[in-house]
Structure 1
């Protein structure tokens, strides 16, 4: 007999008996465990999709009587990361009593407010629209999922007939309707008319399954999904091809990535005509099979079927009319081809809104595409932050899998446009959007920081990320970069090894920023080194190294950044981390001081040249950053101590005493100076901000 794990080919069996046993008889804990492992398999449900619940017997705090309480994922939650704080606890009887006051489909929005009168747990998350779908069913544990295979069945022509073909009379089927109280009544009716069924397929929507225990519910869900998956794969083998076969061939992997990196900033600029966006790219086998197919032109305009899909991906993607082998180096020529396509898409979205809006519909939202398809290359997505755009990308991959399965079974069908519009512009959905927290100052921006493996560079990256930016850390020390990037949450940061003395290395770093996030808005040149020697001891090698890292590196970084920023057409910021030494003449400092002065004047020259592009160039001058600064780990500290006739240990106090505020300067202080330039002083360019505690001889005016 096969083991449990061997039984499944198309889903991941993740239930661990030892972990479950450690939770004992705590049904809520077991429900959360089941939710998390279901959410870990993107073929079962994606981020924020689906819902899970359990029912337990609790003591009523007012009567001390035993009452049934339903625990369910709250509004806006994600089952893969669900915790007790993200669920709602409601009296089941009170929820069912709402049937007595329900006034029909026109009453749906009012019912959501009445869920609050059913709250048992005062620490509950706001109940979701799916609450009655679970509450009106009698089972102890319930899963509502959006598996690719099940939505393929649900979105197939003759879905009810296909459901019977796969599961016989063991599964119910309910036609599409918008989630709400009435859909809960329809599920209850379906169960009453088909006692003994193991689940229900929701037309164009998803799956409901259940069990008396959390494990039984989990296994039931996996078995139902497995049966659908096996059925679809059998049909695909019988058909012999998917999506009508391949129309074009993909470029080789490296060429695809190069094309994507070239195109990303242009797409980002066009998608940001109303609000700045962050990008994501994928060229997985699943995506390439679809976007290179003969059926792409037929299927893409149909849009997605599952509400969870199109709420995140928009009703349909934009398919680019660019040849995969086309030369993208001429930005003007490429943009001349792309702009009409975007204008056509925006107008199409406006027409969709105008044709389907209701009297009380919210105002039209950003009309730019979320999903963009480049046949032969890959798929792009653009949204307000990295998590949202990544999840949108993943949801469209789910939609591709749905189309693949539905086409294999019979024929793919999408929701009628009016139904889709009513979901997208539902007042409850709008209310959810309005409850979103205010965005941080640097949200929607991408920053690349050199020398970010530690010290000042890492502090700058930390500050920019804290204020909402996506950050790309670069350095020559990969071990430092790996350690540094591990301190950020998912979807916040990336890293790449970059030697700023090499133009090709800088180009690769910018390519990484474009592929990861769509482009770059902020560049901070913090990479540096310090050599302190008398002129007679300063070698040509010393001089060249300082010039290459500090000056030539800044030139190359700025030149390549400007090319990307101009592609985007969104302006930008370039920040040079120079030094007080570029303004003040000190002993034993000819190589370093000259390089820093060159950085400062280059920044002024760039500011004068790039103002018309809304690219602001400013300089932050640190001084005496000893604690936490990488350059003080080497010979520089000894050289400066010798120049001032003190010991290395005396340097921090020496530097603090010599500034007007008598303050020690930390890397975080320099980071604050950078943030002031990019996040607050938005009408400042060509400026120098001294972060040195006040050095009178370094005053610029």
Structure 2
């Protein structure tokens, strides 16, 4: 069976595994989750978080002991690609359908959502989504509601209804655009009643409903319908003399596109972060370039998207930059002068859209900055509250591009009317969902580069910052150590939240490349932590010139070069920022066998004060954290340094941790996590008016007190 199915499909992926499905036989809910995950794995079938899937089973009613029909459906806010049983809502079908007795009509649509809770069968249910009645009034055991680009292209075409009728010979019904809800569920049932025997329903501008008596039949039905839509569109595109009206702007070569995006991204991020810090994402695939370089961009971009899911993620329309692809972007001040009027015009447009369409009870206007920014000849930027949301917004706009391309090939693209778009964006139920989201973490929207972050103190700082919401560029001069740490980070954190670079802080080109990576991958940088270091402990007579140069190159010159590059990037954004320098108790305390290291640390400390004095005008704070004796996971304490310190203090190497703890006022061993917590205290917002400070995290060493 599967071999036949594989040969059938050209534009979708057939992923059904008969052995896996057989192992789930008899558990319809497990088969629902299996089917859902496969559908969600193919972005041609549906977008992240979009669409819904369901099945109906016969269960024993815990109150009566009698058999009752239960519908299992993806709960509110879920994603079918990552759906698990805990993400489902389970509802009594008869109770859900009985809500027709209390339904007061379209004007009272939203009040029905609360009533879904009275229909819950499974007390562990996720909150039922607005799509619940769309599945509940259809009689089929298994139902897919998907947002395939190919189907939406037909649904969003001016002649979509006629094309659907002709393409499927009347076996796919049509329901005109309507906001999802109870009434739309009734419309779907009406369509089925008027067209018995159909295999699915196309929702105008929205998506596709398909079904089957089993999970497999539903899956195959969905693939067949979508594949047929895609084949039809591909054939139409092939007959066009030029897609999107042909090329207007020629794309720059790939390396030049990346260079332009790297220069531009922090400036765009600064504009987009006027209300709250945003994280960026850049895409310059062939699909994007074909659209943004086309003659029809000027017509299509202002129209916005058609599918509500696309629109909610990408806003009413993108900002198309009026900027030559090969423009000189090396002067940030000139670039900001050129872009400022374009952002002001966009914000004005968005404000007018809000004021024109708002209702007396509409939520307050949200951030008026664009989410999607198109740079003809170069690529597409998206900006959102975090990296995952920015990346997903880009995916949604690519979906919208595919829809526009298909609709234009077969007919003429139509978008949602602006009032309809507004009513979705500022829907009170959508606002309630936003209000239920967890409060952003303290470092959400922040980007940090922590030098030496593949181990020891640097690694602990990077982990702490990611845990608190930041995006991190992890780096080290040891590529092997860096790769090992990346494996560790990948197990603990979402890969959207970190990037990496091999970075030697004595190499100016490597430093600039690392900050370029921060600009291209995330949009810029807000926090620079100078943590990379090494230690050499020798008596004066044994200290070599090579030792001295190495210490000063890594600790002092390295801090200077990294700070210089980081500040240049921060200034492009105009968002202020933080520089944290991990120095040492040795910057203040004199000890034996420590001339090179101690004096370099003193230079680091004073350089921090000098930078704080200079950078205040840019709202860039510079603060210092002084650790002492942080031995855990530190390369500094491998080999000669530990032996040198043990010799200086007359103790065995293995006794160093206890020796250092006993000499502190608190009698504590200092861990990398302690330093990370100190760094977090400086950047979490509570000390936003503090600069030029020194924070000792050493267990209390009186000789190291600043005052």
SS at match of 1:3: helix
Confirm or deny that 1:697 pairs with 2:703. yes
Choose the corresponding residue for 2:639, options 634, 637, 640: 634
Confirm or deny that 1:576 pairs with 2:577. no
SS at match of 2:56: strand
SS at match of 1:544: helix
Aligned runs of 1:389-428 on 2, under 5 Å?
A: 389-428=390-429
SS at match of 1:67: strand
Q: 2:610: which partner in 1?
A: 605
Q: 1:258: which partner in 2?
A: 259
Q: 1:100: which partner in 2?
A: 101
The answer to which of 131-140 and 648-657 deviates more is 648-657
CA positional deviation for 1:537: 1.6
Q: 2:597: which partner in 1?
A: 592
CA contact (8 A) 1:628 1:666 kept: no
SS at match of 1:326: coil
Aligned runs of 1:466-477 on 2, under 5 Å?
A: 466-477=467-478
Q: 1:214: which partner in 2?
A: 215
CA distance in 1, matches of 2:167, 2:546: 75
Q: Once the two structures are superposed, what CA deviation does each residue of 1:442-475 show, in whole Å capped at 9, x if it has no partner?
A: 1110111110111111000011111111111111
Aligned runs of 1:146-545 on 2, under 5 Å?
A: 146-485=147-486, 486=490, 487-545=492-550
CA distance in 2, matches of 1:453, 1:584: 28
CA positional deviation for 1:627: 2.0
Q: 2:91: which partner in 1?
A: 90
CA distance in 1, matches of 2:354, 2:484: 48
Q: What are the ranges of 5 or more consecutive residues in structure 1 without an aligned counterpart?
A: none
Confirm or deny that 1:671 pairs with 2:659. no
CA distance in 1, matches of 2:669, 2:466: 24
CA contact (8 A) 1:577 1:619 kept: yes
Q: Once the two structures are superposed, what CA deviation does each residue of 1:322-367 show, in whole Å capped at 9, x if it has no partner?
A: 1010010111111001000000000000110111111111111110
Q: Once the two structures are superposed, what CA deviation does each residue of 1:570-600 show, in whole Å capped at 9, x if it has no partner?
A: 1100001111111111111111111111111
Confirm or deny that 1:135 pairs with 2:136. yes
- TM-score using structure 1 length: 0.99
CA contact (8 A) 1:482 1:495 kept: no
Q: 2:694: which partner in 1?
A: 688
CA distance in 2, matches of 1:671, 1:12: 45
Which segments of structure 1 move beyond 3 Å, counting only runs of 4 or more?
none
CA distance in 2, matches of 1:461, 1:267: 25
Q: 2:561: which partner in 1?
A: 556
CA positional deviation for 1:478: 2.4
CA distance in 1, matches of 2:141, 2:501: 49
CA contact (8 A) 1:637 1:648 kept: yes
Q: 2:656: which partner in 1?
A: 651
CA positional deviation for 1:548: 1.2
CA contact (8 A) 1:278 1:385 kept: yes
Q: 1:77: which partner in 2?
A: 78
CA positional deviation for 1:3: 3.2
CA distance in 1, matches of 2:245, 2:639: 64
CA positional deviation for 1:399: 0.3
CA positional deviation for 1:7: 2.1
CA distance in 2, matches of 1:104, 1:697: 77
Q: 2:47: which partner in 1?
A: 46
CA contact (8 A) 1:50 1:146 kept: yes
CA distance in 2, matches of 1:17, 1:623: 60
CA positional deviation for 1:479: 2.8
CA positional deviation for 1:5: 2.0
CA distance in 1, matches of 2:48, 2:639: 47
CA distance in 2, matches of 1:79, 1:605: 54
CA distance in 1, matches of 2:438, 2:583: 36
Root-mean-square deviation over aligned CA pairs = 1.0
CA distance in 2, matches of 1:483, 1:201: 49
The answer to which of 661-670 and 640-649 deviates more is 640-649
CA distance in 2, matches of 1:305, 1:509: 39
CA contact (8 A) 1:38 1:79 kept: yes
CA distance in 2, matches of 1:626, 1:332: 45
Q: Once the two structures are superposed, what CA deviation does each residue of 1:23-63 show, in whole Å capped at 9, x if it has no partner?
A: 22110011011111111111111111110000000000010
CA distance in 1, matches of 2:534, 2:6: 55
CA distance in 1, matches of 2:483, 2:154: 44
Q: Once the two structures are superposed, what CA deviation does each residue of 1:533-592 show, in whole Å capped at 9, x if it has no partner?
A: 112221111111111111111111111111111111111000011111111111111111
Q: Once the two structures are superposed, what CA deviation does each residue of 1:376-407 show, in whole Å capped at 9, x if it has no partner?
A: 11100011111111111110000000001001
Confirm or deny that 1:12 pairs with 2:4. no
SS at match of 1:512: helix
Confirm or deny that 1:110 pairs with 2:116. no
CA positional deviation for 1:645: 1.5
CA distance in 2, matches of 1:379, 1:516: 13
CA distance in 2, matches of 1:507, 1:219: 51
CA distance in 2, matches of 1:284, 1:330: 27
CA distance in 1, matches of 2:360, 2:679: 48
CA distance in 1, matches of 2:243, 2:480: 44
CA distance in 2, matches of 1:572, 1:9: 50
CA distance in 1, matches of 2:288, 2:697: 49
